[in-house]
Amino acid sequence: MRILFDHQIYNNQKFGGISRYFYELSNGLKRIGHEVENTIKYSENVFTDDKSVYNSTEMPFYKYKGKGRIQTFLNTRYSLNRVKKNQFDVFHPTYYDTYFIKKHILTKPFVLTFYDLIHEKFGHEYPEYLTAVDSLINNNKLLLERASKVIAISESTKNDIIEYYKVDPGKIEVTYLASSLNYDNGTDDHLATLSYILFVGNRGGYKNFSGFIESVSELLRVDKNLQVICAGGGNFTPTELELFKQIGIDQQTLYKPITNDSVLAGLYANALMFVFPSKYEGFGIPTLEAFNCGCPTVLSNTSSMPEVAGDAALYINPQDSQSIYKAMKTFLDDSELRNKYKKLGIEQAKRFSWESTVNQTVKIYKSLV
């Protein structure tokens, strides 16, 4: 089969779960003999460095006003050209832009992966989502209506799509994601000397970073050797820095950029625990990343997270700061329990693989060709 992926997520992310998903999907399809094309002309996404999968180049490395818009325009124009040529069997857009529908050029089936319903559920609760929520929902409605098949990344997400958009359940297939990290990736002698709790990824809105900080600050004030490391998600904002200072934990809260898989794996592998207090996740790849790296995990009891983690995590109510505090303290006080959950996590992660993701996706493609 000939599969065409587009450029969208590679414009939106430099390093992230969705672009990792499409990288693993593209790589896996090529490995088992399918033809894959990604319509990316220019990209600064770290995954596009793999030229066995991508033919993109980086725009001039220096920053200038409008660079992102120019890159998006050029990639969209290139994508439209490739879609119009019709030299593929299935088209698989990587995000929710309807540019190819509006231009009326797509004559082949297309598959839409639906990741979560964050904007639908939280669009009117958090200001950062409010400006985009209406247009995104309208796009989603059109895409779900026109798509030949919809891939949901968890049963939780499938149920949300059915409930919110009234989509026929028979049109939706659940295909789980996986993790590319493992314990062997993570070696960092400096981290091994630290005593820290790990938070990974974006810190805004529904990710519930403020609730986490409120809870963990009680532990930090008692143990001055204990630290929190926040990996990825951008540098701390002035508001965050001021909050850390006000509650007396500014010297115990560190930011670490994620530059590659080895850095991230090292952070998981050496942490006392990973805390994922998000109010909602469509799947939650960081859960499997932590499991694969032998990191005890504290996890919210909402949305897809129990579906993915099973019995391999301590669960919390993300709306209750005392619930978060008690779970973290339970792990801190009991090294044997941490070791038990390390083993449980490693076993649970074996249920998920990119090979399985690819094989299930191929079956969906073949059903349309």
- Given a contact cutoff of 8 angstroms between Cβ atoms, the answer to whether 298 and 313 are in contact is yes
Q: Same domain, yes or no, for 170 and 310? A: no
- Given a contact cutoff of 8 angstroms between Cβ atoms, the answer to whether 76 and 99 are in contact is yes
- Given a contact cutoff of 8 angstroms between Cβ atoms, the answer to whether 35 and 2 are in contact is yes
Q: At what angle do helices 209-222 and 238-246 cross, to 10 degrees?
A: 30
Provide the pLDDT for residue 268.
Answer: 95
Q: Same domain, yes or no, for 238 and 139? A: no
Q: Same domain, yes or no, for 139 and 225? A: no
Which of 103, 59, 77 is CA-nearest to residue 6? 77
Q: Same domain, yes or no, for 116 and 253? A: no
Q: 9: which 2 tokens?
A: 């997520």
Q: Same domain, yes or no, for 166 and 120? A: yes
Query: Within 10 Å of residue 31's Cβ, how many Cβ atoms?
Result: 11
CATH code: domain of residue 75:
3.40.50.2000
Which of 33, 29, 43 is CA-nearest to residue 79? 43
Phi-psi bin for 33: left (phi > 0), alpha (psi -120 to 50), beta?
Answer: left
Q: What SS3 string covers the chain?
A: CEEEECCHHHHHCCCCHHHHHHHHHHHHHHHCCCEEEECCCECCCHHHHCCCCCCCECCCCCCCCCHHHHHHHHHHHHHHHHHHHCCCCEEECCCCCCHHHHCCCCCCCEEEEECCCHHHHHCCCCHHHHHHHHHHHHHHHHHHHHCCEEEECCHHHHHHHHHHHCCCHHHEEECCCCCCCCHHHCCCCCHHHCEEEEEECCCCHHHCHHHHHHHHHHHHHHCCCEEEEEECCCCCCHHHHHHHHHCCCHHHEEEECCCCHHHHHHHHHHCCEEEECCCCCCCCHHHHHHHHCCCCEEEECCCCHHHHHCCCCEEECCCCHHHHHHHHHHHHCCHHHHHHHHHHHHHHHCCCCHHHHHHHHHHHHHCCC
Total tally of structural domains belonging to the chain: 2
- Reading the chain (369 residues) residue by residue, the pLDDT tens digits are 999 999 999 998 887 889 999 999 999 999 999 999 999 999 989 899 999 999 988 877 666 777 888 899 999 999 999 999 999 999 999 999 999 999 889 999 999 999 999 888 887 776 665 566 778 888 999 999 999 999 999 999 999 999 999 999 999 999 999 998 876 655 566 788 899 999 999 998 899 999 999 999 999 999 999 999 999 999 999 999 999 999 999 999 999 998 888 889 999 999 999 999 999 999 999 999 999 999 999 999 999 999 999 999 999 999 999 999 999 999 999 999 999 999 999 999 999 999 999 999 999 999 999
Q: 58: which 2 tokens?
A: 């980086």
- Given a contact cutoff of 8 angstroms between Cβ atoms, the answer to whether 314 and 334 are in contact is no
CA 121 vs CA 164, 208, 300: distances in Å:
9, 14, 17
Provide the pLDDT for residue 51.
Answer: 92
- Tell me how far apart the alpha carbons of residues 358 and 60 are, in angstroms, rounded to a whole number: 34
Q: Same domain, yes or no, for 222 and 89? A: no
Q: Same domain, yes or no, for 17 and 43? A: yes
Q: Same domain, yes or no, for 151 and 267? A: no
Q: What angle do CA 71, 201, 142 make, to 5 degrees?
A: 55
- Tell me how far apart the alpha carbons of residues 225 and 42 are, in angstroms, rounded to a whole number: 45
Q: Same domain, yes or no, for 48 and 137? A: yes
Residue-number span of the structural domain to which 319 is assigned? 183-349
Q: Same domain, yes or no, for 257 and 135? A: no
Q: Same domain, yes or no, for 344 and 361? A: no
Q: Same domain, yes or no, for 254 and 342? A: yes
Task: Please state whether the predicted TM-score (pTM) of the whole model is above 0.75.
Answer: yes
